[in-house]
Amino acid sequence: MPNVTLPEKNGRGQQQGWLQVDKKVHQLMWQFGLKNPTGLAVLHFLTSRLHRGTNGVVMSYAAMAAAMGIADRTAKNAIAALADARFIQILKSGKSNVYIINSQVAWQGERGARFAAFNSEIILAEQEQVESVDKLIEDARGLIQVPQLEPGERFLVGNEDGPPPDQQELHLP
């Protein structure tokens, strides 16, 4: 069942302002919560991290534990319980876990080279970084700025049907 969402603007971009849960699923959630309150809290935490159009979160146990104020082992046990109860799927991307909420992952590709593509929220913990965050911020200042579209802007591609942009649209100085 697709989620119906309304955009909510904050520092993290387009985040769901609300979500919809089927009553049967909601009943399964509260029943699960009676047996595993921390697991239910982790499910709500992961769901709260989803953005519009996403159903996955990439995050380590340590980052989850730090964000929620729980122990790493507690986060790991809660994730295992959620997977056993079939609330989430756990996929791997290298050494990282990808937590998929209520998905049907479609695999595609050439023979022997199958992959799945979907959107997800990637969350990193400061304590897991090799370099200090201050050094990472300083290093980022030297990166080449890649242009990004702002809301309402459009890509200009060669051989495009329609007139080219005028001077007003380009916002020239």
- Listed residue (71, 1, 78) closest to 44, CA to CA: 78
Give the pLDDT of residue 64.
94
Pairing of strands 56-59, 120-123: parallel
Burial class (CB in 10 A: 0-12, 13-18, 19+), 56: buried
The answer to whether residue 166 sits within a structural domain is no
The answer to whether residue 77 sits within a structural domain is yes
pLDDT digits (tens, 9 = 90+) for 55-100: 888 989 999 999 999 999 999 999 999 999 999 988 888 778 888 8
For residue 14, the enclosing domain spans 7-141
pTM of the model: 0.66
Say if CB 165 and CB 156 are below 8 A apart.
Answer: yes
The answer to whether residue 159 sits within a structural domain is no
Q: What is the CATH number of the domain that holds 26?
A: 1.10.10.10
Please name the amino acid found at residue 51.
H
The answer to whether residue 34 sits within a structural domain is yes
Structural domains counted in the chain: 1
